[in-house]
């Protein structure tokens, strides 16, 4: 096994590209995004080399734009109808608020998965290595249906079916991924996914159990609800302890989740075959946490700075606050993406490049081009739904 | 004349081969290891596919639909090539020619969506409004009323903004009942500087006290009530709400932000804030003229009131968006054309006095 990926992206170039994209995007009410994304992707794709040869991004702004137009027509009708129907339900009968949200989330989730698959299809088919293109075969609708089915089952089983969902997704995605005329093969087993996610499932189940126990045996939830309605609880410390408890749960859940995702990534790569070659991934959990913490820290720092400005400068002055919020929103709009790219996305990309290995380095240089048809238009649905927003 | 080695990809597989390159004044000649010429690439058509450009290598392509690539790294050959190929970084013409089509597609899409929004949406919204059962419209009205009251209370910084002087409310209710032919329509007078009145879904009228202040005679206010009752009769408020919800959905798609909170926040605002189309206003005015004639009330005093509203500044913070009334000149023309529509006053002197001070009494 030896590493075969490398990434030599210049952060300064990414920084100026994002700035340009944001400025032009702002001036054109968002319509520059097709061009901006294309420029940025070309940079990122070309920064990744496989065994010394760079990837090429072939997508064009034109394709993204046409994809957007199609999505616009489709969604204007679809979301026009569904959105109005659901909004209407709420206006007509506020007691149905919860149900309409469930429908809305289900509908959006199914559509999101559909768009995600189309996005992979577009991006892979616009990626070439040594003049040969990648592909994503299969059907977005099937992927979306499988995902929705197992998501619902996961919810009903309190997460015990979640590993199956992840296995089904990886199976469908990877077994439909191709480079040239050769298809990738995924050999992962549900049991391994189950082992990876077991700590997370056990944790959530115990949280639920504790919650149920507290609900039936103490008045803590009633106290919380009273407090949220402005009533003074008998024991104010209960609220404080509860908030601390929730924060602790959130932190543990996040740590367990990220750890599971990293293990899952390693396992998925390990179980992937291509044309007789085996892959391996040793993505280190600690390094991933470091990147996450730094990105989170930079983000928090920025928020703290903004909070400080608001607190000292314009606290109590509603009018000034309203005027200040707009420029702050724009700064946030620009900075959030910059932090995301420079501190999260690029370091992760580099880490992955260092961690993934293959046993036959030259295997990707021995493949014939495929006659498989690539999609004609860009990822319009994904764009409209903000799936993978770069 | 310049020679070098290069790496050639034929575009049919990911394999590459070492080739001998010869740079002539017009083209690059490509020969494989056996010495056969496998390509003659015209310099004018060559492009460098490296994006961003790389100082130490170039990846040449011959045309947009030919996947073959030629990689050159020898520095001397590179600089010769760069000198002779001024088009390296230029876009290919074929791509440029597609833009008119694309622009046409964009304009076409825009037209279809705009047509749908402008013509289709009101039709759909009206149809939907007619289909919605009364109980649902009643609920809709309550929800919207609650939202409006929230805004008003925020603006007034007071939780008690409903004016409820008994004599005044009864007088208003009597006139509204006349106009609506005894269909149940509720009326709420709300303390606010904004000079406006509007109809909500499910037979609800809201009159802001700012309007009552500006009204200089009983029939001006009666005219407004007739106008709003006409909106209720035709179910305009429900149509407007449906159309605005649809609009919000479309805008959110165009901005690429379906899940974002901005849209959710915007929907409520739009549902409240947008105004009726000119067609709806004209229809309501025409019906108001009929109603006023029927009860022998003169509509003419409404004209100076409309003019005052139009002149009124819209610096009322949160509530300024509620002041929109399109095409007021056209409406005044319609009202003027109707002439004098009656002899009587809608409210007695006593009632009118009570109405004028309705909000002072209750707070």
Residues A284-325 pLDDT 10s: 999 999 999 998 898 888 778 777 776 666 655 656 666 666
Same domain, A164 and A60: yes
Enumerate residues 230 to 259 of chain B having a beta carbon within 8 A of any beta carbon in chain A.
241-242, 245-246, 248-250, 252-259
| Distance in Å from the first CA to the final CA of chain B | 97
Element (H, E) at A44: helix A33-47
Query: How far is the alpha carbon of B27 from chain A, nearest alpha carbon, in Å?
Result: 22
Give the 3-state secondary structure of residue B72. Answer: strand
Task: Return the structure tokens found at A305.
Answer: 């700075």
Same domain, A146 and A230: no
Each residue's pLDDT, cut to its tens digit, for chain B (363 residues) gives 688 999 999 888 889 999 999 999 889 999 998 989 998 999 888 888 887 788 888 889 998 888 899 999 989 988 888 888 877 777 777 666 777 877 888 888 788 877 777 777 777 777 777 777 777 778 778 877 887 788 788 777 777 788 888 888 889 999 888 888 878 888 989 888 888 888 888 888 888 888 888 888 899 999 999 999 998 888 888 887 777 766 666 665 565 544 443 444 444 444 445 566 677 888 888 899 999 999 899 888 888 888 887 776 444 433 433 444 556 777 888 888 888 888 888 888 888 988 888 887 544
Query: How far is the alpha carbon of B335 from chain A, nearest alpha carbon, in Å?
Result: 35
Same domain, A163 and A289: yes
Q: Using an 8 Å CB-CB cutoff, list chain A residues near B136.
A: 92-93
The alpha carbon dihedral of B278, A29, A33, A113 has a sign of negative
- Residue-level pLDDT at B28: 92
Same domain, A285 and A359: yes
| B167 close to B350: Cβ distance less than 8 angstroms | yes
- Residue-level pLDDT at A117: 92
Q: Which of A353, A370, A362 is nearest to A136 (CA)?
A: A370
Same domain, A15 and A95: yes
B85/A contact by beta carbon, under 8 A: no
Which residue stretches of chain B are H helix? 75-84, 93-97, 99-115, 121-131, 134-156, 166-179, 209-214, 218-233, 236-254, 261-273, 278-294, 302-311, 328-338, 349-356, 358-362
Same domain, A180 and A212: no
Same domain, A265 and A281: no
Task: Return the structure tokens found at B260.
Answer: 């974002």
Percent pLDDT > 70 in chain A is: 78
- Residue at which a domain ends, from A247, A270, A293: A270
Same domain, A29 and A106: yes
* pLDDT average, residue stretch A153-160: 94
Asked whether residue A303 is domain-assigned, the answer is: yes
Give the 3-state secondary structure of residue A178. Answer: strand
Asked whether residue A34 is domain-assigned, the answer is: yes
Asked whether residue A390 is domain-assigned, the answer is: no
Q: Using an 8 Å CB-CB cutoff, list chain A residues near B60.
A: none
With 0-12 CB in 10 A as exposed, 13-18 as middle and 19+ as buried, what is A36?
buried
Give the least confident one: A92-101, A261-270, A333-342, B224-233: A92-101
Model pLDDT for residues A11-32, shown as the tens digit of each residue: 899 999 999 988 887 777 777 8
Instruction: For residue B9, give the nearest of A75, A130, A383 by CB distance.
Output: A130
Same domain, A312 and A257: no
Asked whether residue A159 is domain-assigned, the answer is: yes
Residue numbers of the domain that contains A372? 2-184+277-385
Does this model's pTM top 0.90? My answer is no
The total number of structural domains in chain A stands at: 2
Q: Using an 8 Å CB-CB cutoff, list chain B residues near A94.
A: 139, 143
| B297 close to B342: Cβ distance less than 8 angstroms | yes
Pairwise CA distance, residues A57 & A55, whole Å: 7
Mark yes or no for CB contact A62/B98 under 8 Å.
Answer: yes
Same domain, A256 and A155: no
- Residue at which a domain ends, from A220, A242, A270: A270
Same domain, A67 and A15: yes
Asked whether residue A340 is domain-assigned, the answer is: yes
- Residue at which a domain ends, from A252, A270, A288: A270
Asked whether residue A101 is domain-assigned, the answer is: yes
Q: What are phi and psi for residue A137, nearest 5 degrees? A: -85, -160
Q: Which segments of chain B belong to CATH 2.30.29.30?
A: 2-94
Same domain, A314 and A351: yes
Residue B87 CB-half CA count within 13 A: 13
| Strand stretches in chain A, DSSP E | 2-3, 5-7, 48-50, 53-57, 127-129, 132-136, 177-179, 182-186, 272-274, 277-281, 356-358
Pairwise CA distance, residues A191 & A187, whole Å: 12
Asked whether residue A230 is domain-assigned, the answer is: yes
Query: Which CATH architecture group holds B2-94?
Result: Roll (2.30)
Q: Using an 8 Å CB-CB cutoff, list chain B residues near A73.
A: 109, 112-113
């Amino acid at each position: 096994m030896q590493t075969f990926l490398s990434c030599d992206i210049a952060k300064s170039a990414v920084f100026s590209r994002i700035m340009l994209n944001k400025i032009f995007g702002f001036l054109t009410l968002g319509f520059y995004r097709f061009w901006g994304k294309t420029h940025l992707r070309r940079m990122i794709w070309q920064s990744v080399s496989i065994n010394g040869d760079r990837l090429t991004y072939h997508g064009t702004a034109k394709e993204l734009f046409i994809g957007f137009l199609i999505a616009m027509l489709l969604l204007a009708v679809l979301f026009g109808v569904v959105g109005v129907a659901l909004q209407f339900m709420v206006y007509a009968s506020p007691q149905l608020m919860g149900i309409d949200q469930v429908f809305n989330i289900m509908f959006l989730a199914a559509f999101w998965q559909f768009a995600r698959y189309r996005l992979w299809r577009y991006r892979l088919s616009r990626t070439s290595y040594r003049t040969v293109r990648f592909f994503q075969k299969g059907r977005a609708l099937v992927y979306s249906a499988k995902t929705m089915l197992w998501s619902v089952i996961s919810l009903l089983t309190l997460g015990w079916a979640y590993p199956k969902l992840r296995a089904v997704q990886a199976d469908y995605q990877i077994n439909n991924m191709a480079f040239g005329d050769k298809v990738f093969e995924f050999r992962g087993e549900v049991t391994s996914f189950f082992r990876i996610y077991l700590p997370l499932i056990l944790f959530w189940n115990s949280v639920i159990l504790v919650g149920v126990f507290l609900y039936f045996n103490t008045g803590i939830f009633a106290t919380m609800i009273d407090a949220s309605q402005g009533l003074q609880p008998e024991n104010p410390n209960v609220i404080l302890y509860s908030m601390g408890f929730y924060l602790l749960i959130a932190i543990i859940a996040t740590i367990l989740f990220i750890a599971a995702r990293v293990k899952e990534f390693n396992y998925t790569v390990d179980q992937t075959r291509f044309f007789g070659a085996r892959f391996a991934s040793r993505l280190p959990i600690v390094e991933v946490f470091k990147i996450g913490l730094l990105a989170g820290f930079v983000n928090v720092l920025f928020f703290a700075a903004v909070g400080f400005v608001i607190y000292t400068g314009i606290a109590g002055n509603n009018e000034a606050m309203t005027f200040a919020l707009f420029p702050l929103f724009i700064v946030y709009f620009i900075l959030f993406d910059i932090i995301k790219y420079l501190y999260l996305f690029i370091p992760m990309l580099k880490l992955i490049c260092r961690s993934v290995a293959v046993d036959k380095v030259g295997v990707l240089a021995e493949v014939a081009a495929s006659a498989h048809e690539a999609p004609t238009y860009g990822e319009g649905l994904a764009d409209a739904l903000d799936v993978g927003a770069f | 004349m310049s020679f070098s080695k290069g790496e050639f990809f034929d575009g049919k597989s990911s394999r590459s081969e070492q080739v001998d390159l010869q740079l002539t004044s017009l083209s690059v000649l490509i020969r494989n290891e056996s010495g056969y010429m496998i390509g003659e690439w015209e310099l004018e058509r060559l492009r460098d596919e490296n994006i961003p450009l790389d100082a130490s290598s170039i990846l040449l392509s011959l045309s947009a639909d030919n996947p073959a690539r030629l990689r050159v790294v020898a520095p001397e050959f590179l600089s010769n090539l760069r000198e002779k190929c001024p088009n390296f970084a230029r876009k290919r013409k074929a791509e440029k020619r597609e833009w008119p089509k694309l622009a046409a597609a964009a304009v076409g899409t825009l037209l279809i969506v705009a047509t749908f929004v402008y013509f289709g949406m009101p039709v759909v919204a009206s149809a939907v409004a007619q289909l919605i059962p009364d109980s649902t419209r009643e609920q809709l009205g309550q929800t919207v009323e609650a939202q409006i009251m929230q805004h008003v209370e925020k603006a007034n910084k007071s939780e008690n903004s409903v004016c409820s002087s008994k004599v005044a409310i009864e007088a208003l209710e009597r006139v509204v009942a006349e106009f609506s032919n005894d269909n149940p329509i509720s009326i709420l007078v709300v303390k606010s500087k904004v000079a406006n009145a509007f109809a909500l879904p499910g037979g609800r009228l809201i009159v802001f006290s700012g309007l009552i202040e500006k009204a200089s005679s009983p029939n001006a206010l009666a005219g407004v009530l007739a106008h709003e009752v006409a909106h209720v009769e035709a179910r305009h408020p429900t149509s407007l709400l449906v159309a605005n919800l649809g609009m919000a959905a479309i805008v959110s798609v165009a901005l690429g932000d379906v899940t974002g909170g901005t849209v959710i926040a915007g929907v409520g605002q739009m549902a409240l804030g947008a105004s009726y189309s000119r067609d709806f206003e004209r229809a309501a005015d025409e019906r108001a003229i009929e109603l006023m004639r029927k009860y022998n009330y003169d509509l003419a005093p409404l004209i100076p009131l409309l003019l005052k509203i139009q002149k009124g500044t819209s610096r009322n913070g949160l509530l300024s968006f509620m002041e929109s009334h399109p095409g007021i000149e056209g409406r005044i023309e319609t009202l003027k054309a109707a002439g004098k529509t009656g002899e009587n006053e809608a409210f007695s002197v006593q009632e009118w006095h009570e109405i004028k001070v309705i909000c002072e009494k209750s707070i």
